Amino acid sequence: MNPSKNKTSYLISNDGYPGIIKCRIHYLKCCQSILGRYLLVKFFIVITSAFPFIIFIQWNNNCYLPTNMCDTLMTKVDRATCCLQHSNQPEDICGRFNCTVPCTEPETFNPHPQNDPTLLTRHANQEDNKGNAFFIETTGNGALNYRQACAVESLALHNPNLKVHVLFMDATINQSLVTLQTLVENYANIQFVSLDVGEYIAGTLIDHWYHCTDWRRGSYHVNNLSNALRLLTVYKYGGYYFDLDIISVRPVTYYRNFVAAVDREIVNNNAIHADQKHPFIEMAIKDFITNFSPDLWGNNGPDLMFRVLQKWCNDVNTEAINYVTCPGFNVLPASSFHPVTHFEVEKLFVQRMANETDKEKSISWLTKKVVGVHVWNRMSKDAPIYKNATHAYNRMARDHCPHIFSIAPEIF
């Protein structure tokens, strides 16, 4: 019997308990404290101890362990080399016939774990009718800095009817961080989840791409993985996806099945909504795989969206695309999420006169058409932000992520 690892861990909101990992335990040693409660199993252990070999028992009950224990006690199946169950001749995902270990059923991520009675949370008995929204952290860093946490808070603040999931890929969540603690203490609709990428994508359209191509080659591999996972996530679960450098300034739930334009020629993939299993997103995933290039910035993200829109809508001019001419999907105008273009990033950090900071209308580009502001982290991440500054970024942070802004240091 081959052990497999459930790499899904949840940091549950507002319950006062540390993060808990729910995992399937496959070795007797992992759950020996639980086995001790069962006389039948104890008897079995006594009987089999006389044999000169070790018998491993697959234990199918749920064990709850501290986060730092599951990583050391568990062993998982390598999904790049395990044998696919549906093959007549044993072969792995890449078509190699030298596999020996059968693949197990992939562990699943439940976007609404409060409905799972085995998970300990204050909100376990509340009816859940929330929609999904996702942020994805793919750098392997189980943390959020102040700017990223601001993006998460702003979305949760303006959209209490959304369940906001922050997915940490192949990373253990650093639960001691003040940013994460502040968010879960103040927002019941925020959830942090640690996921094993191999388990998350198992059996999906990008499974072969992930394990069998050279996508890790080149300097954009982290971004390319993020491009793939955002499409897969909204396809699997439906809902919203946002980059961690978008500050929400208004509710977004009025808008559905969309991407957002940057200008007349560019459509971005940093803000997306799609219904579950939407055929537009399926087309985008297939285009991602077919036309993937590891060395071209934008080819697997914004350029991909434009290519798919051309096919889906049979229209090159994205400004002409709407629900009438392009049934089932839409391109929001640039003002919705890109009131400041990548050529105008300095607008976010221009110091304002003291008497101009009291009214939001003093920021000329922050109109009622703006749903969120992309702050172009790739271009602005190295610029220090002074908490007492009077520029637009500080104004947005103070108004739209007040808890994170209150704990931020003087320079962040």
Distance between CA atoms of residues 8 and 165, nearest Å: 13
Answer for the pair 24, 62: CB distance below 8 angstroms, yes or no: yes
Distance separating alpha carbons of residues 325 and 327, to the nearest angstrom: 6
Q: DSSP class of residue 269? A: E
Burial (CB count within 10 angstroms: exposed 0-12, middle 13-18, buried 19+), residue 49: exposed
Distances (CA, A) of 9 to 29, 34, 192: 21, 20, 8
Tokens representing residue 63 in the block: 């064990």
Please name the amino acid found at residue 391: H
CA dist., res. 189 & res. 98, Å (int): 46
How many CB atoms are located within 10 Å of the residue 288 CB?
A: 23
∠ CA(339), CA(341), CA(345), 5° rounding? Answer: 105
Which of 179, 195, 211 is the last residue before a domain boundary? 195
CATH number at residue 286: 3.90.550.20
CA–CA distances in Å: residue 272 to residues 233, 243, 252, 318 = 11, 9, 11, 15
User: Tokens for 250?
Assistant: 């208004």
**What SS3 class is residue 65?**
strand
Residue 129 C-beta-side C-alpha neighbours within 13 Å? 1
Asked whether residue 408 is domain-assigned, the answer is: yes
> What does the pLDDT profile of the chain (412 residues) look like in tens digits?
443 444 455 553 433 333 333 333 333 233 344 334 444 434 444 344 433 332 222 222 222 223 332 332 334 789 999 998 776 788 999 999 888 899 988 888 888 665 443 232 333 333 345 799 999 999 999 999 999 999 999 999 999 999 999 999 999 999 899 999 999 999 999 999 999 999 999 999 999 999 999 999 888 999 999 999 999 999 999 999 999 999 999 999 999 999 999 987 789 999 999 999 999 999 999 999 999 999 998 999 999 999 999 899 886 566 666 655 688 999 999 999 999 998 999 889 887 655 554 544 468 899 999 999 999 998 888 888 899 888 899 999 999 999 999 999 999 9
Please, what is the angle between helix 392-400 and helix 146-158, to 10°? 50
Q: Is 57 helix (H, G, I), strand (E, B) or coil?
A: coil
Q: C-alpha distances in angstroms, 156 versus 4, 152, 165?
A: 34, 6, 10
Give yes or no: residues 52 and 164 share one domain.
Answer: yes
Domain shared by 396 and 266, yes or no: no
Q: 377 and 268: one domain?
A: no
* Domain finish residue from 178, 195, 212: 195
Q: Of 323, 338, 353, which residue is a domain's last? A: 338
Total structural domains within the chain: 3
Residue 236 placed within a domain: yes
Report residue 90 CA to chain centroid gap.
Answer: 33
279 and 144 in a common domain:
no
DSSP class of 21: E
For residues 312 and 351, state if they share a domain.
no
151 in a domain, yes or no? yes
DSSP string, 152-168: HHHHHHH-TTEEEEEEE
Give the H/E segment covering residue 73.
helix 67-73
Do 409 and 323 belong together in one domain?
A: no
Residues 277, 394: one domain? Answer: no
Give residue 15's domain range.
Answer: 1-76+108-114+127-195
Residues in a beta bridge with 162:
131
Q: Is residue 165 part of a domain?
A: yes
Shared domain for 291 and 361, answered yes or no, is no
Query: Beta partners for 9?
Result: 21, 194
Q: Can you say how many angstroms the Cα of residue 149 is from the centroid of all Cα atoms in its chain?
A: 13
Residues 361, 270 share a domain? no
CB 164, CB 152: distance < 8 Å: yes
List phi, psi (to 5°) of 177. Answer: -65, 135
Structural domain includes residue 46: yes
pTM of the model: 0.79
Q: 176 with 231, same domain?
A: no
Residue-by-residue DSSP string for 78-130 = -TTTSBPTT-SS---TTS-S---SBPPPPP---S-GGG-TTS--TTTTS---P
* 314 and 364 share one domain: no
- For residue 150, is it within any domain? yes
Same domain, 178 and 44: yes
Nearest to 380 by CA among 410, 341, 351, 326: 341
Q: Which two tokens stand for residue 396?
A: 């947005």
**DSSP code at position 355:** G
Residue 14 lies inside a defined structural domain of this protein: yes
pLDDT for 125 equals 35
Q: Is residue 213 assigned to a domain?
A: no
Q: How far is CA 274 from each of CA 36, 78, 171, 258, 331, rounded to the nearest angstrom?
A: 48, 31, 27, 7, 12
